[in-house]
Structure 1
Amino acid sequence: MSNLIIGLTGGVASGKSELTRRFEALGVHVADADVAAREVVEPGQPALAAIVREFGPGVLQPDGRLDRRQLRERIFADPAARRTLEAITHPAIRAALEAQCRQAPSPYAIAAIPLLAEAGGRVGYPWLDRILVVDAPEAVQHARLMRRDGVDEALAGRMIAAQASRQERLALADDLVVNDGEPSHLDAMVAELHARYSALAGAASPDGNADPLRP
């Protein structure tokens, strides 16, 4: 049962996956918002039933699963439809992430939320104890996107511009990792954060000694 929940966020191609892999290697449970977003619309889930009620059975594939491509086309053509979809899925995703983190076997857990700033930050996720932002200069994001996804510079720029600004993300940060070099340089930073979070989780535990007057 985790005593501390860390929200991890960052812009596209900032290095979120590099960080989560290192925390997982240390035995830390990571709940991924992208995974939760897929799971909450699986057949039998209340969110999928609500989507069908709002958008009609045409959003389903013959096997009963959500036709993501068809739904995506509809919501991007209609901002009101997008807001309706988000009103259904976002609460379900948040609840799933919180439940996974609170039930995690590690002393602290991480909720990896790429669009945390866009989803309301601390207001949208009041159960986060701390927020860790991984940051990279936009020039580095551009280069990584072009190399990783094979996109041109113009598309890379549009992908970055579609997200919250660096300033908006940095304003959320309790902890910051600047990832502007080789992935190997993250090892020491993750080790330092792991020690800090483990200590905070111990202090938050009912068995911890956060109160200096306790025996």
Structure 2
Amino acid sequence: MWHGVNVVWPVDMPEYCTMSLSTSKDEILGKPKAVVVGLTGGMGAGKSVVAHILKSLGHPVFDADAVARSLYDRDDILLQAVVDRFGPGILHANGALNRLELANVVFADPVALADLNRLVHPAVSRTFSQWKSQEEMNGADVVFREAAILYESGSDQDCDVVWAVTAPVSLRLKRVCERNGWSQSAAAARMAHQWPAEKVNAKADNVLTNDGNVSLVPLVLSLLKDLL
């Protein structure tokens, strides 16, 4: 504040010169920033069901887990970094990633799993940023980032709100075994690498219970109403 000085803006001064110093780049460029909602939950909780509901309502959903899987096929730099860390034994004879072998390695060693996440998640985040910018240009005011390990990867830091989908562990185990054809012990071992539901739910802004007793659609619509 300049005391005793009257500042007079020229009448024909361009609009951008009179904007507040707090004006954001998005406002200057005329691109409103979309609200980012993180969508997470443990294996078998039902976050993909919520994602399907959101898509059916016309909301853009970024599937971080699917993108991570696809990056191995189209990001040569990432694939080479993974091979450098875990060795050529994780590749098929044709040079493609042997996903089963990689899974066997990382899910048997917490340090290896953490190393893999450190390699993959920055690439996923870059892809998300590009996707979000495109969705904002298309007029989206809310976008969703679906990720099983949203908190573990630190991706929640890029979200304005987080929704967690939860269900009883016994029901989650049943769903995972039926979906993947796994044994209960195999499913339980894989689930043990994720945060427990209690920890996820405590950090989330909203929790949707998917135990089959209540339809998820009204719950999703109610949360959307609070956002829009």
What 5-or-longer segments of structure 1 have no aligned partner? 200-215
1:192 correspondence with 2:192: no
Distance 1:141 1:32 in 2: 20
Tell me how far 1:44 sits from its aligned partner: 4.2
Count of residue pairs brought into register by the alignment: 194
1:23-172 matched pairs, under 5 angstroms: 23-104=54-135, 105=138, 106-120=140-154, 124-149=155-180, 151=182, 153-172=184-203
> Percent same amino acid at aligned positions?
31
- The Cα RMSD (Å) is 2.7
TM-score (norm 2): 0.72
* Aligned equivalent of 1:3: 34
Whether the 8 Å contact between 1:51 and 1:88 is mirrored in structure 2 is yes
Separation in structure 1 between the aligned mates of residue 190 and residue 113 of structure 2, nearest angstrom: 18
CA distance, structure 2, for counterparts of residue 60 and residue 156 of structure 1: 24
What secondary structure sits across from 2:148 in the alignment?
coil
Measured at CA, do residues 20 and 78 of structure 1 come closer, stay the same or move farther in structure 2, by a change above 3 Å?
Answer: closer
1:11-49 deviation digits (Å, cap 9, x = unpaired): 221111110001001111110111111122224432113
Residue 156 of structure 2 aligns with an amino acid whose one-letter code is Y
Q: TM-score, normalised by structure 1?
A: 0.76
1:88–1:142: structure 2 CA closer, same or farther, 3 Å change rule? closer
Encode CA deviations 1:144-194: one digit per residue, 9 max, x unaligned.
Answer: 3454445555555444444211221012211221112257x1111122222
User: Highest Rg: 1 or 2?
Assistant: 2
Task: Tell whether 2:43 aligns with 1:12.
Answer: yes
